[in-house]
Structure 1
Amino acid sequence: MTPLRTLFLCATALLAAACVFPDGPSNDEVKTSTGLTVAEAERTLLANLYAVWPAANPQLTRPIPRTAERIGCRNTASMTSYGPPWWLRATATQPNPSPELIDEVLSRLDAMTAQGFTRQPPGVVDNHPADRDYRDARGYTITSDFTPARDANTPARLDVTVTSPCAAE
C-alpha cells in the first residue's frame, strides 16, 4: 500500500469516526431526562466514597477527597471531552495498604449491594482479587484497584474511585 493511500484511508477513518461518535447529551437533555444536577451528583458520589473508604483507619496517610473532578459528557470531533453536562470522579488512594485495610475496603464494597450496587464481571487488566467494579441502576460506579509494588521506588497502591452519571449544571 502506498503512503498516500495509507494517509487517505486514515483520514477517511477519522472522518467516519467523527460521524459515528455522537456529541453526547446536552445540559438541557440531562436536566429533562434525569434531572440530576452536579451538586446532587457530587453529594451522592462523595457519600459513596465515604461509605467504602475507612476514613477512621489509622493506617491512612492521605486525606479523602472533599470535592470531585469534573469531566465533560460531550466530545468534540477529536474526542476531547467538554461540558456541561459533566460526569464526576473522585479517588481515594493509599500507598502500601495493609491486608487488613484491603479487606476492610472490600467488605465495605460488598456491603454496597444493600444500597443497590451490583458487582460487575472482573476485567482483564490486572485481575487482582482486590480489583472490583460495582454499578447501580442510576449509573454511579465504585471501583477498587490494587496495584502491586513494581520495585523499591514504586510501592503497592490501593485506589478506590467513584464516578457519577452525567449531571447538569
Structure 2
Amino acid sequence: MEQNTIQSNSAFQFGKSLFGVWAFTGLTVIGIASAVSSCDYQAAHSSQPTLANVKPSYYGVMALKLTSDITGEAVINLDGFRVPVKFAFDKHPDSYGVPGSEFTAIDIINLEIGQITDANGNNYKDFTIYDDHRNINAQLSAYIEKNKLAEAI
C-alpha cells in the first residue's frame, strides 16, 4: 500500500476548503456587523440635568488679618460677592524635600462664613457649597504662606 499525502488526495481539495472557510468567515462578520449597526443604541440618561455654559467660580482674597497666632478674619471675593470669613488654622514646618525649600505650611481647620453681600452691599443668603469652602480654605492657606504671615517655630 502506498502512502499519499493530503495534497495528492483527490477527495480533499485544499483550495476549495480554504475558499469555503474564508467565505463562511466573511459572511459571519458581515452578518454581525449589520446586526450591530441595526441596533438603536441610546445614551444613558442621568438624573441630573446638564448645565450649558457653566464657568468655574472665581475666588480671591480681598483682605486678610490674623487676629492671633492661630485665628484670622478675611474677606473673600466669590464671583463678585463679598464673603466675610473667620477661620482657625494650624501651622507646621514643611519643605519640598530639597535643601533650602523650607516653608511654613498652613492648614485651615475651621471656617465660619459671615453675611454675604454683593458689591452694592445688598445681603444674600449663604449660597456656598462644600467646593466653595474647600477653595476658600486653599485661597486662605496660599495667601498666608505666600506673604509669610505665620511662621512656625
Structure with the higher helix share, 1 or 2: 1
Q: Same fold (TM over 0.5)?
A: no
In terms of fraction of residues, the more strand-rich structure is: 2
TM-score of the aligned structures, taking structure 1 as reference length: 0.23
* Structure with greater Cα Rg: 2
Q: Which has the higher contact order (CA 8 A, sep 6+)?
A: 1
TM-score calculated relative to the size of structure 2: 0.25
